[in-house]
Amino acid sequence: MSAIFLAALDIGGSKMAATLADASGPLARVVQATLKAGAADAIGQQALCLIAAACTEAGISPDRISRVGVSSCGPFTFGQQGLGLVSPNLCGGLTRSDDLPNDWTLIPLESVLRTQFADVVIENDCVAALIGERAFGAAQNQNNVIYVTWSTGIGFGLCVDGHILRGKSGNAGHAGHMLLSDSSDALCGCGNRGDLEALIAGRNLGKRLGQSLPQVFSAAQAGDAEALSIIAEAARWFGRGLYNLVTTLDTQCLLVGGSVWRNNANLLAPLVEAEISSRFPALTQGVLLQSALLDDLVTDLGALAMVMPEAWRDDWRQRKPWENIQTVALDDAS
């Protein structure tokens, strides 16, 4: 029996990573800044180059790769070209932002990857993170679980009754754009006022406060009353958003990751728990709020888990071979 090789792609707004793995674990991982200019298929072509670079690192030919799992920023759209990206943080044609020197309105992804690989699975990055945490992290035996990242943005991966939710275009989990406040004029990049991202996503909250969010949190950690009150307000909004999902999906376990949460879970968790458990006991009683475990590798591991044979997963759970992963940073592409 010949060895099976898998590739994982992690496509984000600022960086892209490719990982090559076999049954023993990850063999190589390369990262590079995500391209922001060129033809519309530049992102897909860069992804193919990164897989080739990971293969070179590992001394394996790319044509030996059986399956490719992909975690990508969204939203997605489905067209004649298969799944494509309509991401405001990549497509200059969809935003008025000056730091996107392109006029892309749709990034073809699936069609470009399929020029080289027959078996490709693509999921939204928060769905990938959820798959990663269910495979190797804090949600291994949870069938009713939500993964949420609280970072520069806020995104969700949803699992109900053991099914990962995808929706009509693979965009389930964009609940960061759920409307929560009708009195706040906080503005989201999507145009909403008073949605969860507008209120407390890192990029928006920091801008509104006129100071960096890490500074606010570090003042709060030192006991500063004003900083603590800002954080209590943010935790209350986050708790209201999570409560809305619990009452919608009857969730058992809430798994939180992302930089805002990770560095401040000690302050945030009790406040968020109190907000959730103050409401509708038939739905909220016994709900668990936990921190995600896999940190920066969560989407890479999720992308691998999407395409991994069952037997590998059980073995990797025991051995945790990702803990020894070596990452090679490549120079910017052009």
Cβ 181 to a second copy shortest distance, Å? 5
Q: Which residues contact 36 (CB under 8 A, 6 or more apart)?
A: 90, 92, 99, 100, 101, 102
Cβ 50 to a second copy shortest distance, Å? 26
| Token representation of residue 186 | 């906080």
Cβ 244 to a second copy shortest distance, Å? 5
Task: Give me the amino acid identity at 40.
Answer: A
**26 versus 153: smaller Cβ distance to a second copy:** 153
Pairing of strands 145-150, 120-124: unpaired
**155 versus 257: smaller Cβ distance to a second copy:** 155
Cβ 194 to a second copy shortest distance, Å? 8
Asked whether the beta carbons of 134 and 294 are under 8 A apart, the reply is no
3-class secondary-structure state, position 78: strand
Name the residue with tokens 């409560």. Answer: 243
Per-residue three-class SS string for 79-102: ECCEEEECCCCCCHHHCCCCCCCC
Asked whether the beta carbons of 90 and 104 are under 8 A apart, the reply is yes
**118 versus 282: smaller Cβ distance to a second copy:** 282
- Radius of gyration in angstroms for the set of CA atoms belonging to the chain, rounded to a whole number: 20
Beta bridge partners of 163: 160
Cβ 62 to a second copy shortest distance, Å? 32
**173 versus 302: smaller Cβ distance to a second copy:** 173
Beta bridge partners of 327: 29
**7 versus 188: smaller Cβ distance to a second copy:** 188
Q: Which residues contact 334 (CB under 8 A, 6 or more apart)?
A: none
**116 versus 244: smaller Cβ distance to a second copy:** 244
**191 versus 223: smaller Cβ distance to a second copy:** 191
| Site residues (vs a second copy, CB under 8 A) | 74-75, 77, 86, 144, 156, 158, 160-161, 163, 165-175, 177-184, 190-192, 240, 243-245, 247-252, 279-280, 282-283
Q: Which residues contact 155 (CB under 8 A, 6 or more apart)?
A: 124, 125, 126, 148, 149, 173, 174, 176
Cβ 11 to a second copy shortest distance, Å? 17
Cβ 237 to a second copy shortest distance, Å? 9
**161 versus 332: smaller Cβ distance to a second copy:** 161
Cβ 24 to a second copy shortest distance, Å? 34
Asked whether the beta carbons of 297 and 10 are under 8 A apart, the reply is no
